[in-house]
Amino acid sequence: MPFSNLAIDPSELPQTADLELQPLAPAYRRLLRLQWRLTALFGFGLAALLFYWVPEWRGTAAYGATGGGLALLLVFYYLTIELGWPWAGYAVREHDVAFRAGWLFRRLQVCPVVRIQNCSLSRGPLDRQYGLATLRLYTAGADGADIRIPGLPLNEAERLQQHLLQRIHGTDSSAHRLD
């Protein structure tokens, strides 16, 4: 068979803008907002303790700089949640899985199903409270998950995991169920 390496016309390639994404669960947005409030509470509480233990900093520029810097970080964190939310979503297609997220730094990750070697679900305490799970997809040669899709309703995440495990291993994946 002779070698060939024909050029591909870029205009004929599929457009990622045409990708129909499923939104993340609305409960995940509430969870992110709760995490933001807990971070703000912890951050300002820690700053208050710091200034209580170091009284010579009170009334100085360090006091204002710490509070102002913390407030700016919290505003940026909140904007990341709110402005990134409309952009976030995922798609499971016949030959690949895609995840899109970000606000300032947007990313679109696409992983062919044939490269996926394993997938897992994870749930933290707050995820369990909100009925959510994170689906992690692993391919060969990576240290961690290649794609991490947070904010999935648990039943949907389990269905996706079972579908992908059946596709990649060709077996019954009921043994991998997350309780």
Mean pLDDT to the nearest integer, 32-40: 95
With a cut of 50, say whether residue 179 has pLDDT above it.
no
With a cut of 70, say whether residue 76 has pLDDT above it: yes
Q: Choose between 1 and 137: higher pLDDT.
A: 137
Q: What is the mean pLDDT of residues 117-142?
A: 93
The reported pLDDT for the residue numbered 175 is: 47
d(CA 34, CA 151) in angstroms, rounded, equals 14
pLDDT digits (tens, 9 = 90+) for 95-113: 899 999 998 899 999 999 9
Type of residue numbered 109:
Q
Question: What is the reported pTM?
Answer: 0.79
Average pLDDT, the chain: 87
